[in-house]
A and B are shown apart, each in its own frame.
Chain A
Amino acid sequence: MELLETVWDVFLRTYPGFLEATLITLKITAVALVLGTILGLLFALMKISRSKLLQTIANLYITVIRGTPLIVQIMFLYFGITSLIVLSGFWAGAIALGIHNGAYIAEIFRGAIQGIDKGQREASSSLGMTRSQSMRRIVFPQALKRSIPPLGNQFIITLKDSSLVYIISVPELFSMANIEAAQSFQSLETYLVVGVYYLVLVMIFTYLLKLYENKLNVDK
Chain B
Amino acid sequence: MLKGSNIHKSFGDLEVLKGIDLEVAPSEVVVLVGVSGSGKSTLLRCFNFLERINEGSIEVDGQVVDPKKHKLSNIRAEVGMVFQHFNLFPHMTVLENVIEAPMIVKKMKKADAIVLAKGLLDKVGLADKADVYPSKLSGGQKQRVAIARSLAMEPKVLLFDEPTSALDPELVGEVLGVMQQLAQEGMTMVVVTHEMKFAREVADRVIMLDEGRIIESADPVTFFENPSHERTKQFIQLVD
- With CB as the reference atom, state the residue of chain A lying closest to B50: A122
Contacts of A219 in B (CB 8 A): 133
Contact with B along A107-132 (1 / 0, CB 8 A): 00000000001011011111111100
Contact with A along B95-112 (1 / 0, CB 8 A): 000001100111000000
Query: What is the minimal beta-carbon distance from A61 to any residue of chain B, in angstroms?
Result: 30
Contact with A along B69-84 (1 / 0, CB 8 A): 0011110111111010
Query: What is the minimal beta-carbon distance from B69 to any residue of chain A, in angstroms?
Result: 16
Query: What is the minimal beta-carbon distance from B77 to any residue of chain A, in angstroms?
Result: 3
**Does B169 sit at the interface, judged by CB under 8 A?**
no
Interface size on A, residues (CB 8 A): 20
Among A44-52, A63-71, A75-83, A135-143, the stretch that binds chain B is A135-143
CB distance A117 to B87 under 8 Å? Answer: yes
Choose among B74, B77, B89, B104 the residue that contacts A123 (Cβ–Cβ < 8 A). Answer: B89
Contacts of B87 in A (CB 8 A): 117, 119-120, 122-123
**Does B91 sit at the interface, judged by CB under 8 A?**
yes
CB distance A128 to B83 under 8 Å? Answer: no
Whether A137 touches B100, Cβ cut-off 8 Å, given contacts A122-B87, A220-B135, is: yes
Whether A127 touches B83, Cβ cut-off 8 Å, given contacts A122-B50, A137-B100, A142-B91, is: no
Contacts of B101 in A (CB 8 A): 124, 127-129
Query: What is the minimal beta-carbon distance from A160 to any residue of chain B, in angstroms?
Result: 32
**Does B9 sit at the interface, judged by CB under 8 A?**
no
Subset of 7 A-B contacts with CB under 8 Å = A120-B89, A127-B105, A128-B74, A128-B153, A133-B73, A219-B133, A220-B135
